Structure 1
Amino acid sequence: MTRVLIIEDNDDIRENVVEILELSGYTAYAAPNGKAGVEVAIKQLPDIILCDIMMPEMDGYGVIEALNNHPQTRATPFIFLTAKAERTDVRKGMDLGADDYLTKPFDDTELLNAIESRLKKKEVQQLFYGKTAEKLDSIMSKNNGLEELKKVMQERDTRIFKKNQAIHHEGDRVTGIYFIISGKVKTVQLTQDGRELITGMYAANDYLDLNIILSNDTYIDTAIAVEEAELSFLPSEQLDKLLFLHPDIGAKFIKMLANNIRDKETRLLQIAYLSVRKRIAQSIIRLLDQEGNGVRSIKVSRDDLAAICGTAPETVSRTLTDFKEEGLIEKSGSTIQVLNYEKLDKLKN
């Protein structure tokens, strides 16, 4: 049942609103002043708040400012009730984050329509952003914010991408950031001669397209599911708000982005200067390390491994055969099992 909090110092108005709300099927909470209203809001976490402006102890402006500073109430729809309807009063309330304004006296229809309108808008926002959009502000106030953000994105509406299905294409407009719940994703660019160059390999708990932090332009590569993958999506508008409110999360994203850029620069240098043998050994080790948990086998096609290393598929096949004869790996189809991790790891240096 929808919960509504009414904060009003006039006993007759407060009791009348409570009666209207309860007759209309809402659960109603009431507070006689701003200070008590803030306490009830934090304790009960209502779905919407109605608040008078002129009150003792704490006025309505103080109430909304206090609730904006509390992570669990800052996103709650807020409607001011006031006998004052001056433009400056309306502007001040909206600047503080109020969603609507009801001028007293108001009738039952005006009250219920205002409440329903705000609740429907919130529902539409949740459908667009995902089922747990309202948790983002509160979750970011906790420690280990990036890990908490991952938990939230795991609970959001997700989409399943089949093997070889494109998630986005090079040149598409950037609309948000993806988080991989499960599966693997590669990002690719085509060379001038039509060959595919893999610019990144991503697995569960990785973010795609961190470049959105610095640019709202277009994607510079194409993202493709290597295997069936489940992804969550955070729209850029919400990400922008998140980074503005919580600079520490932005700093962590930027650090991740810097690491990604450094890794890509290293790979480009290796493609330019290292032998094919070393590049293939290094790519296998990198893919193994990405799996984590001591995994000693990976599943990667010959073509994908060639695209990662910047070489021809035939060269990959010959080198893998050499590795197998040297007792470094076993190969079955697209599965590569590493038999001697230490020796293969030394080979890449």
Structure 2
Amino acid sequence: MATILVIEDNQAIRENIVEILEMADYHVLEAADGKQGLLLAESQHPDLIVCDLSLPILDGFVVLQMLNRDDKPCKVPFILLTARAERAEIRKGMDMGADDYITKPFNPSELLSSIECQLRKSSHAKISSVKVQPPGPIQDPAQEAEPFKNLIKDRNIKTIKSKQIIYQEGNHPSYLYFILKGMVKTYKIDEDGKEFISGLFNEGDFLGYIPVLEKTRYSDTAEAIGQVVLAIIPIEDFEELTVANKHAREQIIRMLTHSIEEKEVQLLRVAYDSLRKRAADTLLTVFNKYNIGGDSNVGIKFSRGNLAALAGVAKESFARTLADFRDEHLIDIRNGVIYLLDIGKLNQLSN
């Protein structure tokens, strides 16, 4: 029995497809967004994927691109499901490696015919690709555990001064960056000129990998907070590693998932949380970024403007909340550095 993964955000359409496939005696996995679908594809290894093009979090193009970063001789058949009739969108999907496309609304027989055809092709390809392989070298377990170690090694090193721009929103990426020392913020400027910090990155983090994966322009700007030391990695080397190394692909998916989850939580808090809750959460977030060694006495050397931008509030409002926290002995401020005095109560406020 073949296993089919259906990735579709519209519940009614997804349930309809699942019912059709189960009646045709297929084992069906289902996902409501691109992230969930990608994780299921990597863990469950379906025989074929039916994927909507317009998905939340990761769209069908990104899912297809990530799955094609594989060293297997036979790819998993991929059928695009789309309501878009534009030839350019369909052509883009086919050029990226999709095997077929079906335009919504579709006829059940059309869907089943496409699936049966692609499964037959896949079966023939697997048979013809079977070869007796000579014994190869045993892969170093340490290399499997640290797939990016050699990628970072012996790279050009660049020291960035405080407030210096690393990359600019709207530009195309030329390099991937790895932070050897320091902290970096990414931010966007809205129509009113207000800054919103979209991410914080510190030692051991890769920077700017999402537009590299998606082959798009930068969606925000990266700026050094204090002095930063970066390893500069050419995109071609990064892409070569992700194609050749399964463990690197798995780690990229984990990085991507974590980044998406962080942004989801941040946007929800900006939309629904009170000012005090946002302020407490922002202080704890920055503290955890600084506190790499587990020292509870580490101070937050972060400007009030950056803290307010991360919380998504006006600088004056954030400053008043900090003053309240100081009066309540939750924090102390010495020489412009913020120290957390009662992490437990701040966690209670944050939650």
TM-score (structure 2 length as normaliser): 0.57
Structure 1 residue 294: deviation in Å?
2.2
Q: In structure 2, what is the equivalent of residue 121 of structure 1? A: none
Is residue 173 of structure 2 the alignment partner of residue 171 of structure 1?
Answer: no
Higher relative contact order (CA 8 A, sep 6+): 2
**Residues 255/313 of structure 1: CA separation in 2 closer, same or farther (3 Å cut):** same
Is residue 195 of structure 2 the alignment partner of residue 196 of structure 1?
Answer: yes
Give 2:254's aligned amino acid: K
**Residues 238/152 of structure 1: CA separation in 2 closer, same or farther (3 Å cut):** closer
Q: In structure 2, what is the equivalent of residue 338 of structure 1? A: 340
Structure 1 residue 198: deviation in Å?
0.4
How do 1:125-164 and structure 2 match up within 5 A? 142-143=141-142, 145=144, 147=146, 149-150=148-149, 153=152, 155-164=154-163
**Residues 330/281 of structure 1: CA separation in 2 closer, same or farther (3 Å cut):** same
Q: In structure 1, what is the equivalent of residue 281 of structure 2? A: 282
- d(CA) in 1 for partners of 2:273 and 2:204? 30
Name the count of aligned residue pairs: 211
Q: Please, which of 289, 303, 306 is the counterpart of residue 304 of structure 1?
A: 306
* Deviation readout 1:251-307 (Å, 9 max, x if unpaired): 111111111111101110000000011011001111112223223321110000000
TM-score (structure 1 length as normaliser): 0.57
Give the % identical residues: 34
Structure 1 residue 150: deviation in Å?
4.2
Q: Which sections of structure 1, spanning at least 5 residues, go unmatched? A: 1-137
- d(CA) in 1 for partners of 2:315 and 2:344? 25
Would you say the 8 A contact 1:146–1:252 is kept in 2? no
**Residues 151/229 of structure 1: CA separation in 2 closer, same or farther (3 Å cut):** farther
Structure 1 residue 188: deviation in Å?
0.7
Q: In structure 2, what is the equivalent of residue 117 of structure 1? A: none
Q: Which sections of structure 2, spanning at least 5 residues, go unmatched? A: 1-136
Give 1:222's aligned amino acid: T
Structure 1 residue 154: deviation in Å?
5.3
Structure 1 residue 215: deviation in Å?
1.2
Give 1:339's aligned amino acid: L
Q: In structure 2, what is the equivalent of residue 255 of structure 1? A: 254
Q: In structure 2, what is the equivalent of residue 209 of structure 1? A: 208
Please give the secondary structure, in 2, of the residue aligned with 1:199.
strand
**Which consecutive segments of 4 or more residues in structure 1 shift more than 6 A?**
none
Is residue 292 of structure 2 the alignment partner of residue 292 of structure 1?
Answer: yes
Would you say the 8 A contact 1:176–1:236 is kept in 2? yes
Please give the secondary structure, in 1, of the residue aligned with 2:162.
coil
Larger Rg: 1
Would you say the 8 A contact 1:150–1:205 is kept in 2? no
**What is the alpha-carbon root mean square deviation over aligned residues?**
1.9
Is residue 226 of structure 2 the alignment partner of residue 224 of structure 1?
Answer: no
